[in-house]
Structure formats: C-alpha cells, structure tokens
A = this chain, B = another copy of it.
Amino acid sequence: MRKASIIVIGSEILRGLVQDTNSWWLAGKLTEMGFSVIRIIAVPDDEGEIAWALKSSLEVADVVVVTGGLGFTKDDITLSAAAKALGLRLVLSEDAVEMLKRKVKGEEVQYYIKAAHIPEGGKPLYNQVGISPGVYLEINGKDLFFLPGVPAEMTKMFEDRVKPLLEGRSRGYMARITITTDYTKESEVDSLVAQLREKHSDVYFKTHATVPVVLSVLVSSSSQKDLQVKLDRIIEELKKVIKIRDIKAE
C-alpha cells in the first residue's frame, strides 16, 4: 500500500481556538482510496515548523496533502515557506491569476494577487467555493497537494481536483464493513475476534465502545477482485465467532 501524510497548517489550531476537522475528513477519504495514512501533523504558521512537517512527510509518504494558510493575509505563509523548504522559487502563476479573475473583478485582483504566487513547477487548482487556488506539485515522484483550510473549500477541491489526479495511484483497494453486534461489552467482542486478528494481520478490526458494540473492519488488497474474495471470507469467519445483528458494507 502506498503511504499518505496529512499536514494541517494554522496557529489557530495549535492554540486550541479552532478545531481541525480537515485531517479527520482527509484521513477517511485517503483510506477509502486505498492509501495507508501514516502521519497527521498540525503546525503553526511558522516557516521552520512548516519546513519540518513537509520534509518529514516527504521522507516517508508517497502522497502529502497540506491544508491551510493559502490565503492573502499576512499570516498565510504556507506556499512561501514550502517553496523555501523545497528549494524552489515562488513565482507568479499566470494560470492562477486567470483563476483569480474568475472569482474577483478589476482592481480587486491585485488585492488577492499574493494567492497566485506558487512554488515553481506547481499547477494551480481552481477553488470552486473560495478565492485562493490550491496547488499540485510533483516532487521526486511524490504527489504534494496544497489545499485551502476552510473546510467547504478543501472538501470540494479534494473531490473535484485531487481525487481524479490520485485515482489509481494508491495501488490499493479498500473495503469497510460496519457490524452491529449482539454484545454490550467491548472487551468481549475484542477477545472473540482476537483469533481472526492474529490470522489476518493485514485486516484491521476496531471495536467501538457503543451499546450494542459496533465493530469496524477494514480489508485492503492490491486488486479489486481479490478484495471481494477476501471480504467474503472475513465476513464468513466473523459470523462463526460473533453474534451479528447487522452488517453494512461500504
């Protein structure tokens, strides 16, 4: 499975002023697409911390998705910090300027022009909901995305621009089943599935402390065909060890 890392940028997150919901949403999406998310890092609007987050992510992940700090106010330094960290020039992108012109008119474009300065070699991604474009950058064969921090802008850009670019690149397929069991004690379900967990080390079983206990199962595979076979087998084996009230497959 190819690996992914998520970076959230914004001092407001680190100071506890705003709750980050982007990383959770992105983690679910990237997992669904067959990537293994191995790190989520949140750092403030600080050049050094942004550089550290980028470099340590690019060391281990094939795909890095960054959100936040793309705007035109003074503390939006994500793209300039990234360019510096990666040894790239920050250049005015004509395509990004065109994108701004679709959102704002006349002299207002100049007010937003900062958001059209992107790291050399990057491709701007159109922002359907907000103003600042996102950026896609291929760096040493790795895919690096910069998305806005506003959740409505980020999710729309991910669905419309990032997903099509990443489709098929995960080299993996994932299926998730959610099982409502007939038990009230989480530890009971946990010990009943212990043997399956041992046997299938590549399958992820997670009990949730709800009443009745819910069990999430994530099955991944390198081929779509094999995934279905694996999934069917796991469900069959699960039926033998726990009492199931309801199964939902996604």
Bound form: Cα–Cα A136–B27 in Å: 30
Surface stretch bound by B, among A42-50, A62-70, A113-121, A233-241:
A42-50
Q: How far is the CB of A182 from chain B (nearest CB, A)?
A: 20
Whether B20 contacts A24 by the Cβ 8 Å rule is yes
In the complex the two chains form, is B39's CB within 8 Å of A43's CB? Answer: yes
Task: State whether A206 touches B17 (Cβ < 8 A).
Answer: yes
Any chain B CB within 8 A of the CB of A40?
Answer: yes
Q: Please tell me how many copies of the chain the complex holds.
A: 2
Contact B38 A14 (CB under 8 A): yes
- A197 interface hit (Cβ, 8 Å): yes
Interface: A29 (CB within 8 A) = yes
- On whether the beta carbons of A14 and B42 are closer than 8 Å, the reply is no
Query: Is A41 in the interface zone, CB < 8 Å from B?
Result: yes
A14 contact from B27, B187, B208, Cβ within 8 A: B27
What are the residues of chain B within 8 A of A194 when measuring CB–CB?
A: 74
Q: Is A128 an interface residue (CB 8 A)?
A: no
Task: Assess whether A39 is in contact with B49, with CB atoms less than 8 Å apart.
Answer: yes
A141 to chain B, nearest CB (A): 22
- Contact B42–A39 (Cβ < 8 Å): yes
In the complex, chain B residues whose CB is within 8 Å of the CB of A42: 23, 39-41
Q: Is there contact, CB below 8 Å, between B24 and A19?
A: yes
Minimal beta-carbon separation of A40 from chain B (angstroms):
4
Structural contact, A206 and B12, CB atoms closer than 8 A: yes
Q: Does A88 contact B (CB under 8 A)?
A: no
Pair A44/B38 contact, Cβ less than 8 Å: yes
Closest beta carbon of chain B to A234's beta carbon, Å: 16
Cα-based distance from A171 to B206 in the complex (angstroms)? 41
Q: Which of A15, A30, A52 gathers the greatest number of chain B CB atoms within 10 Å?
A: A15
Seen from chain A, the residues whose Cβ lies within 8 Å of a Cβ on chain B are 8, 11-21, 23-32, 37-44, 46, 49, 52, 56, 73-74, 150, 187, 190, 194, 197, 204, 206, 208-209, 216, 218
18 A-B Cβ contacts within 8 A?
Answer: A11-B204, A11-B206, A12-B206, A14-B38, A15-B28, A15-B31, A15-B37, A15-B204, A16-B25, A16-B26, A17-B218, A19-B21, A38-B46, A38-B49, A39-B49, A56-B56, A74-B194, A150-B209
